[in-house]
A = this chain, B = another copy of it.
Amino acid sequence: MPPQSTIVAPATPPGQGAIAVIRLSGPHSVEICEKVFLPASGGAKLSGRKPNSVNFGRLADGKEILDEVLVTVFRAPHSYTGEDVVEISCHGSPYIRREAIRLLIDNGAAMAKPGEFTQRAFLNGKMDLPQAEAVGDLIASSSRAFHKVAVNQMRGGFSKEIKKLREKLLHFVSLVELELDFSEEDVEFADRSELKSLLQSISEMTGSLTKSFSFGNAIRNGIPVVIAGKPNVGKSTLLNSLVSEEKALVSEIPGTTRDSIEDVIHIEGIAFRFIDTAGIRETTQKIEIMGIRRTMEKIRQASVILLMVEATDTPDHINQIIEGLREKPELSGKRIILLLNKSDLPRKENSVKPSGDNFPSLDEKDHVVEISAKKGDGLENLKELLVDIVNEGRPKEDDIVVTNARHYEALKNAHEAVKRAGDGLDGGLPGDLLAIDIREVLHYLGEITGEITTDEILGNIFKNFCIGK
């Protein structure tokens, strides 16, 4: 049953701006707004206006005029929430915004909870749960790659496919359960080979979606890249060179502030989190040890290590550094890009030669890039390489990617349940036990799409939304 209250909240970010939008949703939206809206001279009442049209007038508390506003009425079910929705566009003053909301509450609206508009859209069948979740992701997205996944998810994404397969499976399980009623007659309503091929399809889908999560998660949170190297080798210069190129781009995005540990840099629409390891050195100071521990934890999650040395260094010295790095358990086994910095300086007789015999012992999957962090030489090569490494992990259909830990969890569970059901089918498991396994698959798939949910799941999802969404 849909909620019967009418909710109100600001829909635009707080602060001063040209305009602010306030949104009402619920059965009394129009009625409440009518009480405080004076149409411009000659204008009809809101309730008599055409839906989806903009009406100019004044917002007033009795005789006291609060603002001149534009009001748009959306009629159920043709609105974001599926209920009657009114959007009031007023001047972007925090005072007006606050007073307007107070006025609407005084006239019968209730303050919306975080995510309540989207939650209502879900409850009214305007979107499934991954679509609702994608709305939150979309608003939070700050890189092209994550944004693309979120847009695709909002438009249906993988949940369409899951729903389709789930419906087919639901059909099968009811046939299997029907057989139980006729158990003495030993009939088979459900075609076992068809069921097997359906389970196979589901298994393939859940498998590949589950696998896509490590890529999706990196896309969502940024690819962690550790920069290692001796002090003064040019690590900060590299970061500055990379950052300055995209400064104009990034400066507008909140939350990408550069702190001492991480710099987020966008390369070809992918966010990379560069983690400086300046802090990793032997120390006995308590506070510093704690700081290093945190850094190490981040390094453990890193995908790539940029190891920076000087191009004028000798191979022996570089080998020594690499071995020192491999000794640290957190760094061992990671993919290494060896950066030969200061490539613009003249080499010495015994300097390392990238293509020579005396080259350091790298693994096959490792790379060498010559750069001059100061002059910006070679940075394009480095960027290309980083993007290539990300793309290696990119699923074929790169817009159908799981980025959400909740989906990942359910997909993993579904995948395992499908395997059990398939094994049972192969092993000639009796119908009643087979039905239980299949029901489990249905449960996990339903959790993803929201066909099966609990108040707790919904609460967890929507509490992280902003108010007004």
Give A residues with C-beta under 8 Å from B: 9-21, 23, 50, 52-54, 64-68, 72, 74, 89, 91-96, 98-99, 117, 135, 138-144, 147-148, 151, 154-155, 252-254, 466, 468-469
- In the assembled complex, the Cα of A52 lies from the Cα of B16 at a distance in Å of 25
B254 touches A16 (CB 8 A): yes
Question: Across the interface, do A468 and B154 meet the contact criterion of CB distance under 8 Å?
Answer: no
Contact check: which of B18, B23, B151 meets A67 at CB < 8 Å?
Answer: B151
Chain B, residue nearest A118 (CB): B18
A-B residue pairs, 4 tightest by C-beta: A13-B15, A13-B17, A18-B469, A12-B12
Q: Are A94 and B254 in contact (CB under 8 A)?
A: yes
A17 CB contacts on chain B under 8 angstroms:
10-14, 139, 466, 468-469
CA distance A21 to B89 in the complex (A): 10
Q: Which of B18, B91, B147 sits near A93, CB closer than 8 Å?
A: B147
Q: Are B12 and A94 in contact (CB under 8 A)?
A: no
Contacts of A252 in B (CB 8 A): 14, 94, 98
Given the known interface contacts A54-B54, A91-B135, the answer about A18 and B11 at a Cβ–Cβ threshold of 8 Å is yes
Residues of B within 8 A of A138 (CB): 67, 91, 93, 96
Chain B's nearest CB lies how many Å from the CB of A375? Answer: 29
Which residue of chain B is the closest to A469 with respect to CB atoms?
B18
Residues of B within 8 A of A92 (CB): 11-13, 139, 466, 469
Contacts known (A52-B54, A66-B151); A93 close to B141, Cβ less than 8 A = yes
Q: Provide 7 A-B residue pairs closer than 8 Å at the C-beta atoms, listed in order of the A residue.
A: A16-B139, A52-B53, A65-B155, A92-B466, A93-B142, A93-B147, A99-B144
Residues of B contacting A11 with CB < 8 Å? 17-19, 92
Instruction: Assess A16 versus B18: contact at CB under 8 Å? Given A53-B52, A148-B64, A154-B68.
Output: no
A181 to B236 Cα, complex, angstroms: 80
Check if B18 sits within 8 Å of A15, measured CB to CB: no
Q: Chain B contacts of A14 at CB under 8 A?
A: 13, 15, 17, 252, 254
Contact A91 B18, beta carbon cutoff 8 Å = no
Our pick among B15, B66, B89 for the contact of A254 (Cβ within 8 Å) is: B15
Which residues of B have CB within 8 Å of A9?
Answer: 18
Least CB distance from A345 to B in Å reads 39
Query: How long is the Cα–Cα vector from A91 to B466 in the complex, in angstroms?
Result: 12
